[in-house]
Chains A and B, each alone.
Chain A
Amino acid sequence: MNFKDALKTKIILGDGATGTFLQKRGLEPGGCPELMNSEKQDAVIEMASRYFESGSDFVLTNTFGGSPFMLKKYGFEDKTYEFNKAGAELAASVCPNNKFVIGSIGPTGEFLKPLGNVSEDEMADGFKRQIEGLLNGGVHGIIFETQMAIEELILGIKTAKSFCDLPVIGSMVFDKGPRGFFTMMGVSPEKAANEIYNAGADIVATNCGNGSEIMIDLASELVNFSKLPVMIQSNAGIPKIVKGKVIYDEKPEYMKENYQKMLNLGVKIIGGCCGTTFDHINVFRNLINEID
């Protein structure tokens, strides 16, 4: 069964946070996570493997910052293809039958002209290099996540669709402000849902930025406006500092209750963003099993 067919028949569960786990395996604060696809492959494999064991139907590749624009900041621009391909291969190497690997593409960190200095062609070329690596590494779909600018997201979706017929997810990060939900660049959930659909993506999503309670309101808007299935990856709350350490304090059971509400609203795919762990995914699995 492929990803799109699976989506028609059941609620699908993604994975949890990547960065916090990789730090436990030696990633330095602010270090390049994608470098671990080359130098700490065991850690990347362990992460995918444990998310699958915890009940994830799919895991995201460790390639969030794998655009040449982000890698350039670490001096790894020329490793774009290699890091993305390896990230996909590592997750795919432990992917059970009937489960999936989705290639993660985060923001490029650049603004398109005229706001920024990068042309559409240059940005599309960056996406192309990243997507080629992911596809050749064996992903079953692509997610553009934590996106803020609609122009960048649309360009990414169209570039991905020009290469393959795999499912593509468009996921934006929203803040709740005085006039409701908007991305940093001013994109409302309604606009996001429409534009992601028009660009040819298969799933409309939001991730990061919020704890699970606020995500219920956001889910409600996205479900309301979207012609496509909706996916939510919530943070385990907003990060707090306790004794010098950053913690996310939403417990699995608490998030489960909020995800229950989101599923009732019609959300089709759930997963976790910053601060969510194997334990969270385990509990979300139970939630879905209870419903099925």
Chain B
Amino acid sequence: MIKHEGLKEEFKYVTNPDEQEHIGGLFASGDMLMQEIAYNLITGQNDQVGILVKQALDEDYTANIVLDDGLIAGMAIVGVKFRDNIIFVPEVLISARAMKAGMEHIEPILSASGVKPIGTVIMGTVKGDLHDIGKNLCIMMLRGGGFSVHDLGVDTKPDDFIDAVMEHDAAIVGMSALLTTTMPNMGTTIEAFEDAGMREEVKIMVGGAPVTQEFADEMGADAYGANAVDCVQKAKDLSAAK
């Protein structure tokens, strides 16, 4: 249950009953420190998030608890607020920065203990396209959602996607494009996976301002993410479908 006063106010933005149940469940432990972390993440206090995460780890909270009950729980509310137009890209970027401040303390512990992320995603803007704001936002939200993400940057050739999938044993590929002229390169990349005999091994999701569900279907992608929040949801769906 939510005891933190500020967080209670933030939780009011979650109006869908299913989401109330799910996100409310993330705060079920009722731990005040975790709720403090979530609240500071939502409000973008990155210094404070770093301090509180460090404090929690010093107090012998496990890295997984801090990640799940503090950071990811907070990010879930950020996601809802973003999708519902309560907040926009600037606020999400600031919360993502706070997430990163917390992750800097958590990541070394997780990797040392060999804990597996919920999935590994290869992300890149397609060949010929130099735009990365949307892709970067997706990456931050994916990491906030517990995924391990390898960023191939902009102007990513089909072979680079394929190489990265092999190198990191990734199950999901995310492609972004802002230009209508480079959108078809999503299809080209999907074909390259087919030609390499690897199409069955990966789930491919696409997104970007001009991209639509219809376009994603036409290209033969497995999922379309309408925005950064949807991207995380689709990645979770694709992981579950594997």
Q: Which residues in A have some Cβ–Cβ distance to B below 8 Å? A: 19, 23, 28-31, 73-74, 109, 111, 115, 177-180, 182-186, 209, 238-242, 244-246, 274
Whether B215 pairs with A186 at a CB distance below 8 angstroms is no
Report the separation of the CA atoms of residues A228 and B130 in the bound assembly, to the nearest whole angstrom.
Answer: 35
By a CB distance below 8 angstroms, the chain B residues around A180 are 85
Interface residue from A74, A182, A239 paired with B88 (Cβ < 8 Å): A182
By a CB distance below 8 angstroms, the chain A residues around B83 are 178
Whether A23 pairs with B89 at a CB distance below 8 angstroms is no
Whether A241 pairs with B219 at a CB distance below 8 angstroms is yes
By a CB distance below 8 angstroms, the chain B residues around A109 are 131, 133
Report the separation of the CA atoms of residues A30 and B83 in the bound assembly, to the nearest whole angstrom.
Answer: 29
Whether A244 pairs with B184 at a CB distance below 8 angstroms is yes
Output the nearest chain B residue to A243 by Cβ-Cβ distance: B218
Whether A30 pairs with B88 at a CB distance below 8 angstroms is no
Q: Does B6 contact A (CB under 8 A)?
A: no
Shortest Cβ gap from B169 to chain A (Å): 30
Q: Tell which of B20-28, B52-60, B70-78, B175-183 binds the partner.
A: B175-183
CB neighbors of A among B179-212 (8 A): 179-185, 187, 209-210, 212
Report the separation of the CA atoms of residues A244 and B190 in the bound assembly, to the nearest whole angstrom.
Answer: 13
Q: Does B238 contact A (CB under 8 A)?
A: no
Whether B85 pairs with A178 at a CB distance below 8 angstroms is yes
By a CB distance below 8 angstroms, the chain B residues around A186 are 87-91
Whether A115 pairs with B90 at a CB distance below 8 angstroms is yes
Q: If the complex has contacts A178-B85, A179-B84, A182-B85, are A30 and B182 also in contact, measured as CB distance less than 8 A?
A: yes
Q: If the complex has contacts A184-B88, A244-B187, are A73 and B130 also in contact, measured as CB distance less than 8 A?
A: yes
Count of CB-CB pairs between chains A and B under 8 Å? 79
By a CB distance below 8 angstroms, the chain A residues around B212 are 238-240
Report the separation of the CA atoms of residues A194 and B209 in the bound assembly, to the nearest whole angstrom.
Answer: 26
Q: Does B94 contact A (CB under 8 A)?
A: yes
Q: Specify the main secondary structure of chain A where it touches its partner.
A: loop
Report the separation of the CA atoms of residues A239 and B211 in the bound assembly, to the nearest whole angstrom.
Answer: 8
Whether A241 pairs with B210 at a CB distance below 8 angstroms is no
Report the separation of the CA atoms of residues A103 and B166 in the bound assembly, to the nearest whole angstrom.
Answer: 47
30 examples of A-B residue contacts, CB within 8 angstroms? A19-B179, A19-B181, A23-B181, A29-B179, A29-B182, A29-B184, A30-B127, A30-B129, A30-B181, A30-B182, A31-B128, A73-B154, A74-B130, A115-B93, A177-B85, A178-B85, A179-B84, A182-B85, A182-B88, A183-B88, A184-B88, A184-B89, A185-B90, A186-B89, A239-B210, A241-B183, A241-B214, A241-B218, A246-B183, A274-B180
Q: Specify the main secondary structure of chain B where it touches its partner.
A: loop
Whether B130 pairs with A30 at a CB distance below 8 angstroms is yes
20 more A-B residue pairs beyond the given contacts A109-B131, A245-B184, A246-B180, with a C-beta to C-beta distance below 8 A: A19-B180, A19-B181, A28-B128, A30-B128, A30-B155, A30-B179, A73-B130, A73-B154, A74-B130, A115-B93, A179-B85, A182-B85, A185-B90, A186-B88, A186-B91, A239-B212, A240-B214, A241-B218, A242-B218, A246-B184
Q: If the complex has contacts A109-B131, A115-B93, A185-B90, are A29 and B185 also in contact, measured as CB distance less than 8 A?
A: yes
Q: Which residues in B have some Cβ–Cβ distance to A below 8 Å? A: 83-91, 93-94, 127-131, 133, 154-155, 179-185, 187, 209-210, 212, 214-215, 218-219
Report the separation of the CA atoms of residues A245 and B183 in the bound assembly, to the nearest whole angstrom.
Answer: 9
Shortest Cβ gap from A28 to chain B (Å): 7
Output the nearest chain A residue to B177 by Cβ-Cβ distance: A30
Report the separation of the CA atoms of residues A73 and B125 in the bound assembly, to the nearest whole angstrom.
Answer: 14
By a CB distance below 8 angstroms, the chain A residues around B215 are 239-241
Report the separation of the CA atoms of residues A185 and B90 in the bound assembly, to the nearest whole angstrom.
Answer: 6
By a CB distance below 8 angstroms, the chain A residues around B181 are 19, 23, 29-30, 246
Report the separation of the CA atoms of residues A31 and B83 in the bound assembly, to the nearest whole angstrom.
Answer: 33
